């Protein structure tokens, strides 16, 4: 349940990088955070906090995809 701490932004004083960890690599939590940006009234501070966490989440997700692609390309050299 800790990964949902991102959604309790009024009580948080943590950095965006810590908030990203609360997303836990869970695309559902990231989707829910994005939905909050679209449909809920948020303070500017809450909005910035969620945006930064989502950007960091996307950065890590993209990096993981690059690592997978590099592994596939390396494996393909042996064929």
Q: What is the pLDDT of residue 48?
A: 96
Given phi > 0 = left and psi -120 to 50 = alpha, else beta, which region is 38? alpha
Q: Give me the pLDDT at residue 79, please.
A: 74
Distance of CA 78 to the CA centre of its chain: 35
pTM value is 0.62
pLDDT at 7: 43
Task: Residue 18: give the domain boundaries.
Answer: 2-76
Which residues 6+ apart lie within 8 Å of 38 measured at CB? none
Q: Any idea what the Cα angle at residue 63 is, between residues 30 and 25, rounded to 5°?
A: 30
Number of domains the chain is built from: 1
Residues in the chain: 79
Given a cut of 70, the residues of the chain with pLDDT beneath it are 1-25
pLDDT tens digit string along 4-16? 344 444 444 444 4
Inter-residue contact 36 to 59 (CB < 8 Å): no
């Amino acid at each position: 349940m800790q990964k949902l701490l991102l959604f309790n932004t009024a009580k948080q004083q943590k950095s965006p990088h810590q908030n990203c960890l609360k997303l836990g690599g869970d695309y559902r939590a990231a989707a829910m955070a994005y939905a909050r940006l679209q449909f809920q009234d948020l303070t500017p501070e809450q909005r910035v906090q969620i945006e930064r966490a989502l950007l960091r989440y996307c950065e890590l997700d993209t990096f993981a995809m690059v690592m997978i692609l590099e592994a596939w390309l390396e494996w393909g050299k042996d064929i």
